[in-house]
Structure 1
């Protein structure tokens, strides 16, 4: 262990011992909202919704909610953000230096989300808070003398209308200070390669010269990269080449369905730190061991509201009601699902990200993502969340001793207008499609009463097709969904599933 590693770990330990907060979460959030409104009161958005007047009100949150409507991306972009690409002081002071091209799984075209200098700093601040929590994990000191491999999208950004555009991970990498080169891999040169396959090939080539202790990125693509390294260098496990690999910071999609794949190429279990990092912000991170729950970042430039994902907030299709109930951080309850709204230092106001979350702790506020509002399969009242579907896939994997890590599902209608669920499972193993289909249907009925009722009425049957990983990746490449931060779809609309089936057939 180097002297530098001792200093780094000692500084983190000392910082944690000296850092504490007795501020009420509600007060923290009120401070964030006040700061955001004060900062943006002279923008076009701030003037239109009278931020100056809101700041004088006795009940700031009630006044804010009464004055400012809830926005989805299309509403925000059409009315405000499209102008912010050309003119200053629209939803946030000045002109954004960057726009993030969202790599989400919904929508046909990329979304352009403004990224301000304050926003980039907020993401760094949340990252710093994550680092300060590392002593909770009791990592060996040697870890702090290793390098971190971040599998991002390309940092080679495009210039457009006076600003730069790219995916949020590429924007973050392009803003790394020079001293990050001490420990950041694959380094700026490789990170700037646009072509995904070429970038992975260079990582595989350089891998033996690195001392990787931590990896960050979306599970599907990180696993693919690690498998390529193991194969290319004829290794038994990834620890043969990186013996100090200890930590994996996951994010973007749920990790659990990929766990078996990671275990298969690892000599020993990795410590998994989950992160909630989106184009709209870095909202939460795992702060303690033996948990996949994430602590919400309450004092980092974000103000949150929570709409109950039930009759108080959404309709039967998961769409927000006209005037839904919106709660603050002190009003949320354990094990209740919520649609999260954010107001941020990039000029997003009461913005629907599209994620559904559930609190697992209120002291501190820790949560898990249970799915997307558009990923709840509820065409015939089945009310299946991504969380429930992941759990069923894992249960059937265990029962049949197979490995399905990725899948897609949609509600379709047959020639008799009867509804059925079409599943596509991704695996390189030998799977009996009929046995898997029956077990999956049984697992979902046992775990979800709404699904069980639907199967007795409008949802007549389910179908399953198993495809290889290479076939799936070829399909993703054809839809331009290949890359370090691309989220692959789990729940599809009927048209998209039909196109998917046609492509893989």
Structure 2
């Protein structure tokens, strides 16, 4: 009876989803009005006249675009416990994220409104769509195996037991409503362990006898758990352990390079995959069509969106466009104002629209993570598609990868160079030259700038593939204290710092 009630309650969200699909601009205008109204008496709200509840164009003129570094002086005060700075009241929870290749962590406020009106509302949307599209899985009749991070004391309020920081996955799990906790496994005492190897071992043993129907987490770390479960169960087919398993909810990294490996671990024609875009700053989009990898932008979840065209990324006074002004195929940096007190915040992710009715996107990369040392403008979307194509062509699976430029001092004009790809394989290719050739050819097909630079090797020579030792990327993450959870390896960089650090990890 409880599961029937849960199913009914969750599926009520389908009408809400359809509402913002049909009325996106009105919904977004209402979100902006509500955000300004709620924050009008905060320090930030008084400074920028939120009591006036201005519309999008004037809001963009009044309020500056802010990076994390720009907002940090006020965010630090919020971390220290000051009230009514960026959002009403005192914030107790913070999502800890590296966000870039910098060692310094970012601390993103997670307010009560952000939890309930953004993350949990989106979770209900995701569950509603999953039950609509995959009714045979009966996901609420079994357990969802959630693999996330951990949380710890707030470093700026170490004596305040109520204030915590951690992976956004851990913050969400710790505060889950009772209905969601009812269908989740493992218990919190295991899910929130901070020692990653112990966590994997204890979770794997705990879930062996569970009725797991849904997996949820980052693909790279879910692979590690699944392999340990298979070892403990003495089988090479996870369906022998969880015969009702039918759905994997994944995010944080592109799924393409991992798809074949998951098909090997879960050899079932009835297994489904659904992508979600749940950043530390908010739950922003999810896959709403079984036959498409496009992500539906979530418009009534306490997040107001603006979009920064590529030609404005480095402009001294960047000009955004509103949702109704975006165009299909163009690349935009996301600018968000949220019910966590982030105002015109440059999240760092870039997207392109694939549909305007409703608004659907694909994540193309990050404003700081791309390869453009020689004018080639390779973005993460290109890189992941090329790796996936090379895997398919060579019957190969990849565990992790990163790429960086190579500078050849012997070039006549000093500009000729190339790319080094450091790749850790789960199943290595028999012919690494063929893998590299497909990678190169796919990049040339996808990216005209790269293709032009590769023409006759004038500006770019063919890519160089370096095969990483098993566990190389995990050792680097462990050395940086970022093993497990939401942490991931930067795919692309215009410097060689990350690649050289991974190569030297022992």
Common fold, TM-score beyond 0.5?
A: yes
Alpha-carbon distance change, 199 to 503 in structure 1, aligned in 2, over 3 angstroms:
closer
Q: Which moved more, 1:335-344 or 1:285-294?
A: 285-294
Alpha-carbon distance change, 126 to 178 in structure 1, aligned in 2, over 3 angstroms:
closer
1:259 is aligned to: 259
Separation in 1, partners of 2:209, 2:261: 24
1:153 is aligned to: 149
CA contact (8 A) 1:383 1:451 kept: yes
Alignment of structure 1 residues 4-403 onto 2, 5 Å? 4-10=2-8, 12=10, 16=14, 20-21=18-19, 24-53=23-52, 55=53, 57=54, 60-78=55-73, 80-86=74-80, 87-122=82-117, 123-140=119-136, 142-155=138-151, 158=154, 160-161=156-157, 162=160, 163-178=163-178, 180-269=180-269, 270-309=271-310, 311=311, 313-314=312-313, 320-403=314-397
Gaps of 5+ in 2: none
Structure 1 residue 381 displacement after superposition: 0.8
Separation in 1, partners of 2:127, 2:438: 42
CA contact (8 A) 2:328 2:355 kept: yes
CA contact (8 A) 1:156 1:170 kept: no
CA contact (8 A) 1:104 1:487 kept: no
Separation in 2, partners of 1:19, 1:425: 40
CA contact (8 A) 2:204 2:228 kept: yes
Separation in 2, partners of 1:419, 1:370: 24
Structure 1 residue 103 displacement after superposition: 4.1
1:451 is aligned to: 450
Deviation digits for residues 316-339 of structure 1 (CA, Å, limit 9, x no counterpart): xxxx32223311111112222211
Count of matched residue pairs: 490
Alpha-carbon distance change, 452 to 33 in structure 1, aligned in 2, over 3 angstroms:
same
CA contact (8 A) 1:136 1:289 kept: no
Q: Which moved more, 1:438-447 or 1:295-304?
A: 438-447
1:317 is aligned to: none
The DSSP-based 3-state class of the residue aligned with 1:29 is: helix
Structure 1 residue 438 displacement after superposition: 3.2
Structure 1 residue 484 displacement after superposition: 2.3
2:498 is aligned to: 496
Structure 1 residue 207 displacement after superposition: 2.1
Deviation digits for residues 201-232 of structure 1 (CA, Å, limit 9, x no counterpart): 00111122211000111111111211121122
The DSSP-based 3-state class of the residue aligned with 2:406 is: strand
Alpha-carbon distance change, 273 to 81 in structure 1, aligned in 2, over 3 angstroms:
same
Gaps of 5+ in 1: 315-319
The DSSP-based 3-state class of the residue aligned with 2:466 is: strand
Structure 1 residue 434 displacement after superposition: 3.4
Structure 1 residue 465 displacement after superposition: 0.5
Structure 1 residue 186 displacement after superposition: 0.8
Alpha-carbon distance change, 444 to 243 in structure 1, aligned in 2, over 3 angstroms:
same
Structure 1 residue 400 displacement after superposition: 2.1
Structure 1 residue 439 displacement after superposition: 3.2
CA contact (8 A) 2:114 2:282 kept: yes
CA contact (8 A) 1:250 1:272 kept: yes
Separation in 2, partners of 1:16, 1:499: 47
Moved over 6 A (4+): none
TM superposition score normalised by structure 1: 0.91
Separation in 1, partners of 2:418, 2:216: 38
